[in-house]
Structure 1
């Protein structure tokens, strides 16, 4: 009986993952096909999720993620206090640069974006709030990976390291060098590693015991990716959030983006 309950739960979670990954609504048959759950079981689980509010049904009869899940996720301790404290700093950075600003945390071996301010030209671009992305190809991911436990670093470096563009750092030896440089300089640059038109700069956010708990990034056209002032602004905003979280002041001397290997 317990195994049967676990099986139903796994299928329900798989259905939610399927709906989460869809760009729009999905019909019951589409959910069944994409999730691999039999149609009759899909119908039963989707009906229960819809009644609870985990799934919503649109005017066409298709299902999508419901507001109830957002209400539950919004209570996650790791994001609630962090978002509340970070928002004023993110808004200041956005108004100073008019570029996309993103806040992310690490979840196992992936990056999860928990808040963002978007510029008009990047409004339709990734990353979206709640989206998960690889650690080796994003600036926030590189920052979080550089300060992650050694065993996790080895797991990620050991691959596979997917290439999203010709500039994605997919060589283990080079990735090790990049992570070491990030720890020395205090920030990361991901230059067209995900999107060939954009680069991102990111800096770590520390909690009271100076553990890196999040990363803040700025998304800019790649032609601006090595502007020193932008790197300083991101670092200053990240330090402001860290101080507001209660982190001890760290004496660091920022380096210019030219100190980081071009293209990383």
Structure 2
């Protein structure tokens, strides 16, 4: 696609427009999109109009714009995420019903933890993860599992970067994080006390397809809750998901 004067392609600018939407900002005006995407107003208005015409965005009677149903439709066709979510959901529901805590499915995407599914319970502890939301790999239990079983280059890349603290107990020292990752590979699970919120403990296990770790299954428990039962349920569910995928 043709480049702009800044060297950006049309595709890159469209992605910037779409990425201005999130769970807390589901409807915007074209001017708000222009500002948040750091695009000239005329460019943003033109792209929005074209995306509305194709159904990737919808415009309501007040002039505000939302992500379109056609975008959702296209995203579902042949999606690896959809296949994994469909295989995992029955087993996640079983785990969540037994443990009555947040149960989550996540994958590694662009060196972050991307959550594909989350099942919650009214009595469950606080949890900031959202479906289609991201967290740093080093800060969540699912991310620690994904990073532990990632290739050497991915681990080295994360360990060489500054590591942000989401809570006072997030591991931000690369030497200590490397120890956590080695222990996770050795034990096949992780228990993270207060890494994101001091009130919670998160546990996670890998999900494998034909031996390769493709996802992580996690639960968020009250800080002092026992973890053995949750880990046993997660291991059984992860094994069942792997069989379903195979």
Fold match by TM threshold 0.5: yes
SS in 2 for 1:130: coil
The answer to whether the 8 A contact 1:20-1:65 is kept is: no
Structure-1 residue corresponding to 2:144: 142
What CA distance in whole angstroms lies between the structure 2 residues aligned with 1:105 and 1:137? 14
**In angstroms, what is the RMSD of aligned CA positions?**
2.1
Partner Cα separation in structure 2 for residue 69 and residue 124 of structure 1: 31
Alpha-carbon distance between aligned partners in 1 of 2:175 and 2:145, rounded to the nearest angstrom: 17
Q: Could you list the per-position Cα deviations for residues 234-264 of structure 1 after superposition, in whole angstroms to 9, with x for gaps in the alignment? A: 1121122122223xxxxxxxxxxxxxxxxxx
Q: Which has the higher helix share?
A: 1
**Does structure 1 conserve the Cα–Cα contact (< 8 Å) formed by 2:102 and 2:124?**
yes
**Aligned match for 2:181, one of 179, 182, 191:** 179
| TM-score (normalised: structure 1) | 0.85
Residues 207 and 213 in structure 2, CA contact (< 8 A), matched pair in contact too: yes
Distance 1:192 1:64, change over 3 A: farther
Q: Which residue of 1 aligns with 2:205?
A: 203
Q: SS where residue 141 of structure 1 aligns?
A: helix
Of 8-17 and 51-60, deviating more is 51-60
Which residue is 1:218 aligned to? 219
Task: State the partner residue of 2:9.
Answer: 7
Other-structure match for 2:240: 240
**Structure-2 change in CA distance of 1:58 and 1:119 (3 Å):** farther
Pick one of 113, 117, 120 that aligns with 1:115.
117
- CA deviations over 1:199-225 (Å, ceiling 9, x no partner): 2111001111x010011111222221x
Q: How many pairs does the alignment contain?
A: 244
Residue by residue over 1:26-69, the C-alpha shift from the partner in whole angstroms, topping out at 9 and shown as x without a partner, is 22221111111011111110111122222223454322222222
Query: 1:25, 1:58 within 8 Å by CA — same for their partners in 2?
Result: no
Pairing 1:245-256 to 2, within 5 Å after superposition = 245-246=245-246
Which shows bigger deviation, 130-139 or 64-73? 64-73
- For residues 146 and 78 of structure 2, the distance between their equivalents in structure 1, rounded to whole angstroms, comes to 19
Separation in 1 of the partners of 2:157 and 2:78? 26
TM-score, normalised by the number of residues in structure 2: 0.91
Counterparts of 1:1-264 in structure 2, within 5 Å, are: 2-4=2-4, 7-20=9-22, 22-58=24-60, 60-121=62-123, 125-208=127-210, 210-224=211-225, 226-246=226-246
- Partner Cα distance (2:196, 2:154) in 1: 22
Change (3 A) 1:39 1:128: same
